[in-house]
């Protein structure tokens, strides 16, 4: 696979605050990436840098082999769907789609209008009159129908109910199978999208914590539950990400693959072992608790 994005020691500072700190990674063609992390971690800043909407303080960005700034050859091949996309107040849904058709060389009009039916959008309604979920659906339609070689979705589902989000995931996978391109998803609903992700980039505090294939992350951590003394004996010398105790029971989350020796030790001690999901791993690595902003928006 060829590299379409190369980020080398990227930094973005605002006065004395480093929003992005010395971050390096690459994006390959025809792959689905998850750019994950907590609110304020620096994900959106990185996406704005990739799409030339802000300038870096330091480091280098190459997109399709060129610097993206004021470069129509590069920017015409990128579609960036923001969490809070702004539209002209006079625009209706139909107007957004017609303008998008002129912006993206690979725009698929038939696909776009089929998605309008799927999401039950009123074509003639003004964008200012749409619900939060409908606004998200418009962004999703533009992102998918653009067929841009680099398509970036920043929290694309705000306000969408579970059915609409599932529809988005299904249509994305179906169209990606027929028209491969590089897709970046920034999301808090990690468990929902984990089945789609081929590669994970985890950002925390503006720094890169993980840059790995999704398959390699499976089994990277596990939990062990049992009596406190036996769990502590098992955990000795291991990298413990989290520890919870209740009564005489303790649960620890251990970073690292559970080898045969570990499994034998847990079995001998009478401990229960279970794999950690991608979302749980992200929560433990970033030292936070799961956020439920999207659930409130339903």
Residue partners of 55: CB distance under 8 A and separation at least 6 = 49, 69
- Taking the alpha carbons of 32, 39, 121, 145 in that order, is the dihedral positive or negative? negative
Separation in Å, CA 179 to CA 42, 75, 295: 30, 19, 31
- Give the residues across from 250 on adjacent strands: 226, 245
Residue 109: which pLDDT band, with cuts at 50, 70 and 90?
Answer: very high
Tell me, yes or no, whether 20 lies in a domain: yes
Q: Which residues of 28-37 are buried (b: 16+ CB within 10 A; e: fewer)?
A: eeebbbbbbb
Does 238 lie in the same domain as 207?
Answer: no
Distance of CA 230 to the CA centre of its chain: 37
- 218 sits in the region (left: phi over 0; alpha: psi -120 to 50; else beta) called beta
Does 167 lie in the same domain as 52?
Answer: yes
Largest CA distance in the chain: 69
Residue partners of 271: CB distance under 8 A and separation at least 6 = 224, 225, 226, 230, 231, 234
Tell me, yes or no, whether 111 lies in a domain: yes
Distance of CA 99 to the CA centre of its chain: 27
3-state secondary structure of 211: strand
Estimate the share of the chain in helix, then strand, then coil, as percent rounded to the nearest 5. 35, 30, 35
Q: What is the mean pLDDT of residues 103-109?
A: 96
Single out the residue in 168, 190, 214 at which a domain terminates. Answer: 214
Does 178 lie in the same domain as 43?
Answer: yes
Tell me, yes or no, whether 171 lies in a domain: yes
Q: Is the pLDDT of residue 294 over 50?
A: no
Are residues 120 and 81 in contact, defined by beta-carbon separation less than 8 angstroms? no
The CATH number assigned to the domain holding 239 equals 3.30.70
Tell me, yes or no, whether 156 lies in a domain: yes
Residue 260: which pLDDT band, with cuts at 50, 70 and 90?
Answer: confident
Does 120 lie in the same domain as 56?
Answer: yes
Domain count, the chain: 2
Does 99 lie in the same domain as 235?
Answer: no
Q: Say what the pLDDT of residue 196 is.
A: 94
Q: Is the pLDDT of residue 293 over 80?
A: no
| Percentage of the chain modeled with pLDDT above 70 | 96
Q: Is the pLDDT of residue 288 over 80?
A: no
Tell me, yes or no, whether 233 lies in a domain: yes
Q: Say what the pLDDT of residue 284 is.
A: 87
The CATH number assigned to the domain holding 55 equals 3.40.50.300
Are residues 78 and 63 in contact, defined by beta-carbon separation less than 8 angstroms? yes
Nearest CA to 290 out of 42, 20, 36, 84 is that of: 36
pLDDT digits (tens, 9 = 90+) for 68-91: 999 999 999 999 998 778 889 899
Residue 292: which pLDDT band, with cuts at 50, 70 and 90?
Answer: very low
Does 190 lie in the same domain as 44?
Answer: yes
pLDDT digits (tens, 9 = 90+) for 227-240: 999 999 999 999 99
Does 239 lie in the same domain as 167?
Answer: no
Does 238 lie in the same domain as 116?
Answer: no
Single out the residue in 172, 195, 214 at which a domain terminates. Answer: 214
Single out the residue in 182, 214, 246 at which a domain terminates. Answer: 214
Tell me, yes or no, whether 37 lies in a domain: yes
Are residues 184 and 47 in contact, defined by beta-carbon separation less than 8 angstroms? yes
Does 206 lie in the same domain as 166?
Answer: yes
Tell me, yes or no, whether 296 lies in a domain: no
pLDDT digits (tens, 9 = 90+) for 195-217: 999 999 999 999 999 999 998 88
Does 137 lie in the same domain as 28?
Answer: yes
Does 187 lie in the same domain as 227?
Answer: no
- pTM of the model as a whole: 0.88
Structural domain for 227, as ranges: 221-286
Tell me, yes or no, whether 279 lies in a domain: yes
Which helix (H) or strand (E) segment holds residue 145: the answer is helix 132-146
Q: Is the pLDDT of residue 290 over 80?
A: no
Does 171 lie in the same domain as 128?
Answer: yes
Q: What does pLDDT average to over the chain?
A: 91
3-state secondary structure of 163: helix
């Amino acid at each position: 696979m060829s590299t379409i994005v190369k980020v080398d020691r990227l930094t973005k500072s605002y006065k004395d605050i480093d929003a992005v700190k010395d971050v390096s990674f690459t994006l390959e063609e025809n792959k689905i990436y998850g750019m994950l992390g907590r609110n304020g971690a620096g994900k959106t800043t990185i996406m704005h840098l990739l799409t030339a909407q802000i300038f870096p303080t330091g480091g280098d960005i190459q997109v399709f082999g060129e610097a993206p700034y004021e470069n129509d050859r590069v920017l015409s091949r990128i579609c960036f769907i923001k969490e809070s996309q702004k539209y002209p107040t006079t625009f209706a849904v139909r107007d957004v789609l017609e303008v998008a058709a002129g912006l993206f060389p690979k725009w698929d009009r038939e696909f776009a209008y089929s998605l309008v039916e799927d999401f039950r959008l009123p074509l003639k309604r003004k964008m200012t009159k749409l619900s939060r979920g409908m606004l998200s659906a418009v962004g999703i339609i533009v992102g998918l129908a653009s067929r841009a070689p680099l398509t970036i979705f920043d929290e694309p589902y705000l306000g969408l109910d579970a059915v609409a989000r599932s529809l988005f995931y299904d249509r994305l996978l179906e169209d990606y199978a027929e028209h491969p391109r590089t897709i970046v998803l920034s999301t808090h609903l990690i468990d929902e999208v984990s089945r789609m992700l081929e590669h994970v980039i985890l950002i925390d505090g503006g720094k890169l914590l993980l840059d790995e294939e999704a398959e390699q992350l499976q089994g990277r951590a596990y939990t062990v539950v049992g009596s406190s003394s036996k769990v502590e004996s098992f955990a000795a010398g291991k990298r413990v990400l989290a520890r919870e105790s209740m009564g005489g029971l303790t649960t620890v989350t251990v970073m690292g693959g559970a080898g045969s020796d570990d499994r034998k030790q847990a079995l001998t001690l009478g401990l229960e072992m279970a794999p950690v999901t991608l979302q749980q791993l992200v929560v433990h690595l970033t030292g936070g608790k799961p956020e439920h902003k999207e659930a409130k928006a339903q």
